[in-house]
Amino acid sequence: MRTLSTLFLLLLPLCALNCRNYFGNPYRYQAPRTVPVSTAELRVEPMNWWTGMKHNTVEILVQYPDLASYQVKLGASKGVKLIKTEKGDSPNYLFVTLEIAPGAPAQKVPIVFSKGNQSFTHEYPILLRSLGLKAQGVSTRDVIYLIMPDRFANGDPSNDNVPGMLDGLARDSLTGRHGGDIQGIMNHLNYIQDLGITAIWLNPELENDQRQGSYHGYAVTDHYRIDRRFGTNELYREFVRQCHDRNIKVVRDVVLNHIGENHYWMHDLPTRDWVNQWPTFTRTSYRAPTLIDPYASEADKKHFSDGWFDTSMPDLNQRNPHVANYLIQQAIWWVEYAGVDDFRIDTYTYSDQAFCSRWCQEISAEYPNMNMFGEVWEYGVTVQGYFADNQPAKHTGFDSNLPSVVDFQLCFAIQEALTRPQGWLEGSSKVYYTLAKDYYYENPYRNVTMLDNHDMTRFYTTVGEDFNKFKSGIAFLFTMRGIPQIYYATEILDTGNERPSHGNIRKDFPGGWPGDKVNKFTEAGRSPAENEAYNFTRTLIRYRTATPALQTGRLMQFVPVDDLYTYFRYDDAKTVMVTLNTSDKDKVLETKRFEERMKGFSRARNVVTGEVINDLSKLPVGKNQPLVLELMR
């Protein structure tokens, strides 16, 4: 025993020396020393996530020079797990997937990146969800006002030109930037609210740092940043809050199909198949029917879906699971961050449809009240309706999960009714036949209706600047089934043809810029005709908002006869009768054939003028004019 004790005492100093060499001290482990590195070039998207989300697994796209050579682990955190780390084809990206437990607290999660003796830590914020209004969804009770931010009002001239951004102010150019911004819209919320609007849809407000012609917003170069010429992320969030304070919802315009050529991805693609690649530039065929054509070739389908929308708009490959995750998370992020209420989905048909179905499903799972509506600019109800919720499943087993489509078919029909004489299929008959096909939709009331939009000839120009036809279109829009959308300045008779450029239909709202000679946001600044148009529109919007029969009530239409098209909107409380005279002659409408809807009513009130009509047997309707009556007993 004495011999062993002596040996132990002799070896103890050597053991202690070795322990210090390996551990720093004999009692505590010390990690190898590393050299900190600069994180100035680090990009993390999404930049944060939230607790309590159904979508509780977040895939973070991290970009940093030579990042793929780094190892990743989590520092101390509560209820957050590192599920996996994946490399892209570029050496500068990693996909880091975190799972956030339902009960995880708000915290900053240390994500540690290390390579040899180099390391850096990014503290990833997991935040508490806001309890404020968000994801309310638009419904038939709403009226949507579509605004192109660059062309509505300039509330902050200091951001007209931003150092380092490619496209500066050029107000004298139809396709240049004019300086409209989010502050300008906020400055005119009183005008919008007075008109009776309950939802605002902005054309995309995200960064479009393109060389030219990107004022419209559809060539995104940063998915997590408001274009600095429009404002900041914080200002956009404040805009949403102010809208909510006025009971106005906000709709974001989402672009899933493509990006701008100057997006940072295009300088360093995360994977080789991040965008759809072709040997030479290949533009889409714009032929959506190839997706439903039972005789279509695979080559035609690919040409439509994978072709680029334009030379400056690369086509995203949503079959890549990382691209799909990115686009889903980005949409959710803006709802949580800013309180957005709904989505309009640009060029919906051009994206991969399996991805679109998943995108809609994921958004609906997180926000059940959303009535996302897709742009389906096609020809024919069956083509348009194919992309509506549950409809394809009846025929193909595929469900788009898209709650609503923009009803281009009804738009084309009312335009034709007001510009062509009635025939068997033409003129007002086109409206009749279009509505007769509503059986094709699961719920046609969810469709978003319109007279025009930011890509079409202005409605007042379409009807030949005929004021009576203008009134007929407005009356139709706000008494018909669906969710009505009106394009900014339609209410003041704005004009413009899409040729020679779309800039002509996206003119500045007069009075929105310092120094404008007239201010049509005010009654004094508008002409008598413009005030009459504004008041007519305002009256019908407000009547619709106060009349459930025009929101959720049933619809009965009668076959057009002698250029007179009549329909009824009704519920148990109220019946509204609408007649459009689409001819150039004054007419007298004999009402006997409408007895099944008019029985029991002896009088009516003209919704626009307030006049009470005591004899309903024969109703005079002026040439090219509408008649909107609330029936009375």
Residue 509: name the closest of 170, 181, 159, 157 by CA.
181
For residues 444 and 438, give the distance between their C-alpha atoms in angstroms, rounded to a whole number: 6
- Give 265-284 as a DSSP string: HHHS-SSTTSB---SS--B-
φ and ψ at residue 252, rounded to 5 degrees? -90, 140
For residues 211 and 262, give the distance between their C-alpha atoms in angstroms, rounded to a whole number: 8
What sign does the CA torsion over 121, 124, 125, 126 have?
negative
Tell me if residue 346 is catalytic.
Answer: yes
For residues 408 and 452, give the distance between their C-alpha atoms in angstroms, rounded to a whole number: 9
The answer to whether the CB of 617 falls within 8 A of the CB of 590 is: yes
- Catalytic annotation, pick one of 346, 378, 416, 438: 346
Q: Which two tokens stand for residue 284?
A: 């889409």
Say whether 573 sits in a helix, a strand or coil: coil
For residues 167 and 17, give the distance between their C-alpha atoms in angstroms, rounded to a whole number: 66
Strand order in the sheet with 93-100: 43-45, 57-63, 93-100, 80-87
DSSP state of 439: G
- Exposure string of 600-618, with b = 16+ CB inside 10 Å and e = fewer, is ebeebeebbeeeebeebee
For residues 185 and 152, give the distance between their C-alpha atoms in angstroms, rounded to a whole number: 7
DSSP state of 464: T
- Catalytic annotation, pick one of 167, 227, 375, 438: 375
Tell me if residue 293 is catalytic.
Answer: no
For residues 112 and 123, give the distance between their C-alpha atoms in angstroms, rounded to a whole number: 9
- Give 394-406 as a DSSP string: GTTS------EEB
Runs of H (alpha helix) within 171-320: 182-187, 189-195, 233-245, 264-267, 298-306
- Give 338-387 as a DSSP string: H---EEEEETGGGS-HHHHHHHHHHHHHH-TT---EE----SSHHHHHHT
* Residues designated as active site: 346, 375
